[in-house]
Amino acid sequence: DRKMKEKTRQQRDAVIEYLTVHITAKNTDLAELLGLKPTRVRELLAGLIEDQIVVAEGEKKSRIYKLKEKASM
């Protein structure tokens, strides 16, 4: 169980790193990058959205993901 949590953390970090560099990505881009199935990438993205790290824009196949902008102070 510990390994799975570490693996998930590494995958989440890879998504965040990709979005930091590329600004936006589609589910298929991330699936190809990580070598994962699109369904697994959607699970990772759902967790990142829930944690308010990533936001989704658009509908269904045209949906893109990007890092949530930090509130400026």
- Answer whether residue 2 shows pLDDT above 80: no
Q: What is the dihedral of CA 33, 14, 8, 44, to 10 degrees?
A: -70
- At residue 5, the pLDDT reads 87
State yes or no: pLDDT of 12 exceeds 60. yes
pLDDT at residue 70, rounded to an integer:
63
pLDDT given at position 72: 43
Give the model confidence (pLDDT) of 22-66 as tens digits: 999 999 999 998 999 999 999 999 999 999 999 999 998 889 999
Q: What is the pTM of this model?
A: 0.84
Q: How far is CA 43 from CA 15, 31, 72, 73, in A?
A: 12, 11, 29, 32
